[in-house]
Amino acid sequence: MTLAPRAVIVHRRTELQELIDRHGTRGQAEFFLASRGRRIDEVDHSHQLVQAAITAVAAAIPGSWRRGTVERADLPRFLFEPDDIIVVVGQDGLVANVAKYLDGQNVVGINADPARNPGVLVPHLPGAAVALLKAAARPSPAVSPLAMVAAHTDDGQDLLALNEIYIGSPSHQTARYTITLPSQVTEAQASSGIIVATGTGATGWCRSAWLERHSTLRLPQPPDQRLAWFVREAWPSPATGTACTEGEVAAGQQLSLTAAADQLVLFGDGVETDAVALSWGQTVSVGIASRTLNLLS
């Protein structure tokens, strides 16, 4: 017997919910905001938009389908099924949060607050949920396969990200390492760390580095099977160089770093709480991931 499709709604707690969690009551949260020159009305408005979007999506799921709901903090403990249809309700960053837990499932991005969210990864309005779910359930729906970046350490640890992977000091101070380019050129460096980004991430942190140094490197587009990388604030010294500070990694290639300090870390998409540690002499290799994020067009 074939199981009915399952739609899984992914959301995160709103600012209002987090404020009430922290301060105990809505009144205390309102007092706290007022003491900082803010009104609770704006926070409440955003909360209502998110709740309305979640309600609209839940109502759009056909009655014969199975359904699930998961909050961002519970993603590491949630078991996604291979044929799930993932409906992300919220901000663009929430798509990146869920991406590394997926393996080929189709993702629908719902923008709960278009006035505040750019909608790059959540391009659809809640009112389109019925049509979007029908489209996602069809064989071979129209999806954009977004490239992802993967890191693998020499002791078997893996990290996957949609936007970028950062490698550097956990305190964002000077990181010491040896970098090995896909061409096998090597250089000892001291820097503020390295960003390795996909085409999706090329609009964010990576782009700021690209703009700051007036780079002529051609940044990738979201579906491109190549990565762009930038060294942040490389420091020249008798023992460290600055010749290898930007470049690209094509499909099948690897950018490698060997730690020359007691502890470096790598984390993806800005989630420092899910970091992989590197000790002295340990090597990490970064390249295009074998999987993509399938975002419904």
Answer yes or no: pTM beyond 0.75.
Answer: yes
The two tokens of residue 58 are 């839940």
Q: What is the mean pLDDT of residues 104-124?
A: 93
What pLDDT is recorded for position 123? Answer: 95
Q: What is the mean pLDDT of residues 37-48?
A: 91
pLDDT tens digit sequence for 222-269 = 999 999 999 999 999 999 999 999 999 999 999 999 999 888 999 999
Q: What is the mean pLDDT of residues 57-61?
A: 97
pLDDT tens digit sequence for 122-149 = 999 999 999 999 999 998 899 999 999 9
The two tokens of residue 254 are 């690897």
Of 116, 87, 86, nearest to 103 by C-alpha is 86
pLDDT band, residue 273 (cuts 50/70/90):
confident
What pLDDT is recorded for position 263? Answer: 85
pLDDT tens digit sequence for 148-187 = 999 999 999 999 999 999 999 988 789 999 999 999 999 9
In the chain, the domains with their CATH numbers are: 6-141 (3.40.50), 148-289 (2.60.200.30)
Residue 2 predicted with pLDDT over 80: no
- Residue 11: exposure state from Cβ atoms within 10 A (0-12, 13-18, ≥19): buried
What pLDDT is recorded for position 297? Answer: 86
Q: What count of other Cβ atoms lies within 10 Å of the Cβ of residue 25?
A: 10
Buried b (16+ CB within 10 A) or exposed e, 47-82: bebbbebbebbeebbeeeeebebbebeebeeeebee
pLDDT band, residue 204 (cuts 50/70/90):
confident
Task: Measure the CA–CA gap between 50 and 232, rounded to whole angstroms.
Answer: 36
Beta bridge partners of 165: 196, 268
pLDDT tens digit sequence for 5-35 = 999 999 999 999 999 999 999 999 899 999 9
| Mean pLDDT score across all residues of the chain | 94
Share of the chain above pLDDT 90, in %: 86
Residue pointed to by tokens 């017997």 = 1
What pLDDT is recorded for position 1? Answer: 53
